[in-house]
Structure formats: C-alpha cells, structure tokens
Amino acid sequence: MEEKIEYWKIDESLLSHVTKVARLALSEEEIEKFTKELNEVLESFKKIDEANVDELQPMVHAVEVKNAWREDEEEKFQWEPFANTEHKEERYFKGPRIV
C-alpha cells in the first residue's frame, strides 16, 4: 500500500499566524511574497515525490566513505620538556614546598 503525502496550501492567513507565533513583523508585501515562494517550495516537493525510486537502494552517504589507514610506526619522542627549566628533579617538574 503506497502512502500518499498531503501537502498543505500555504495562504496568507496561515503565514500571518506563523509569523505572529514566531514574533516576526512582516509587511503585507512580504507576506504576499513569502506565501508565493513557500507554495513554490511545496510544489517542488510534490515533484520529488513523483519520482520512481522503487528500484533504488537507500544510501547513507552521497559518496563512498573509506578509512585511510596507515601502519603504526614507532618514532622516538624528540621533545625535551625539561630543557629550559632549572626546576626539575629526575623526570618531574619541581615546585615550591607547600607544607
């Protein structure tokens, strides 16, 4: 059983109500303009719904996603954190005595 999607017709009263709820201030010209534009958007969705997609597989991504793995290579750590301080003791920073 194929499900039929019913689209609303956007009229000026609906758009006025939505703008009031959203606390938007639109002029009469803007309401007239946006009513026309939103109805064109709905017409576009109607055309998309008419496309035959029965034999198409759903896709998760528009392009194939692959991992670019590399081999782990052991590298020698080259940063010497204690090179520029005299406040050190063995492999630790040395701070002032608190107690």
Q: Which helix (H) or strand (E) holds 54?
A: none
Residue ranges of domains in the chain: 25-52
Q: Which residue has the higher pLDDT, 6 or 19?
A: 19
Q: What percent of the chain has pLDDT over 70?
A: 93
- Place 40 in a pLDDT band, splitting at 50, 70 and 90: very high
Question: Exposure of 31 by Cβ count < 10 A (0-12 exposed, 13-18 middle, 19+ buried)?
Answer: middle
Whole-angstrom distance, CA of residue 9 vs CA of residue 35: 9
Residue 45 predicted with pLDDT over 70: yes
